Amino acid sequence: MNDVHLIDHPLVQHKLTLMRKKEASTNSFRRLLNELSMLMAYEVTRDMAMQDVEIETPLEKMTARVIDGKKLVFVSILRAGTGILDGMLSVVPGARVGHIGLYRDPKTLTAVEYYFKMPHNMQDRDVVVVDPMLATGNSAIAAVERLKELSPKSIKFVCLLTCPEGIRAFHGSHPDVPIYTAAIDRELNDHGYILPGLGDAGDRIFGTK
Ligand code: URA
């Protein structure tokens, strides 16, 4: 499959299994998502550009390498994307944050935008869009379309779970945007839920069901 990065590290897979269980409490679901997000941040930043800085160790001067975290923007698709932000920011604390508010029209399953707030100078920044579930792909496609209007340097998409339908739809619209995911599940059902999946990610993060 083209530019889909399956994060199959044992720690990621183990935590994802615990999250899928229907008896996982809101508290443990949220904690596991936080831990998983740190591990996914590690993968998605693997090829980030670095710069040299002059530093002094207790013994001598040296040229060492650092990431310019301020060039990186995590863009959360509200509301479930928020569950991924904290974990990612704890690994890259200098990153900026953008928000896109999209809801799924329950009848058409299409994405309707209600909020859009990004840092300035997006054309200088690398963007990582986060949303736990890439299901129909409608929200992710709409979010990336809006972001492309700002011409960022690069865009990556990170989710916890996706399915063949979601990948096909997303890469049908945005073949240039790599997907990072912890699992590719079997299929999408008629209500736009991933099977076997983990249920409604937003409800499970915020305890709203
Ligand atoms: N959104 C969710 O929260 N869960 C799914 O299975 C699909 C979309």
- Considering the four listed CATH numbers 3.40.50.2020, 3.40.50.1010, 3.10.20.600, 3.40.50.720, the one that applies to the domain covering 4-48+67-206 is 3.40.50.2020
Tell me the domain boundaries of the chain: 4-48+67-206
7 Ramachandran zone, left/alpha/beta (phi>0; psi -120 to 50): beta
pLDDT tens string 6-35:
999 999 999 999 999 999 999 999 999 999
Q: Is the model's pLDDT at 67 over the cut of 70?
A: yes
CB 133 less than 6 A from any atom of ligand 1: yes
Predicted model pTM: 0.92
Look at residue 108 in the predicted model and tell me its pLDDT.
Answer: 80
CB 102 less than 6 A from any atom of ligand 1: no
Percent of the chain exceeding pLDDT 70 equals: 99
CB 194 less than 6 A from any atom of ligand 1: yes
Distance (angstroms) between ligand 1 centre and the Cα of 166 equals 11
Distance (angstroms) between ligand 1 centre and the Cα of 9 equals 23
pLDDT tens string 137-165:
999 999 999 999 999 999 999 999 999 99
Distance (angstroms) between ligand 1 centre and the Cα of 159 equals 11
Supply the residues annotated as catalytic: 104, 108, 200, 203
State the DSSP H helix or E strand holding residue 201, giving kind and residue range, or none if neither.
helix 201-206
CA dihedral 146, 151, 156, 161 (to 10 degrees): 0
State the DSSP H helix or E strand holding residue 14, giving kind and residue range, or none if neither.
helix 10-20
pLDDT tens string 160-199:
999 999 999 999 999 999 999 999 999 999 999 999 999 9
Look at residue 134 in the predicted model and tell me its pLDDT.
Answer: 97
Calculate the average pLDDT of the chain. 94
Look at residue 1 in the predicted model and tell me its pLDDT.
Answer: 54
CB 161 less than 6 A from any atom of ligand 1: no
Q: Atom 5 (ligand 1): residue with closest C-alpha?
A: 193
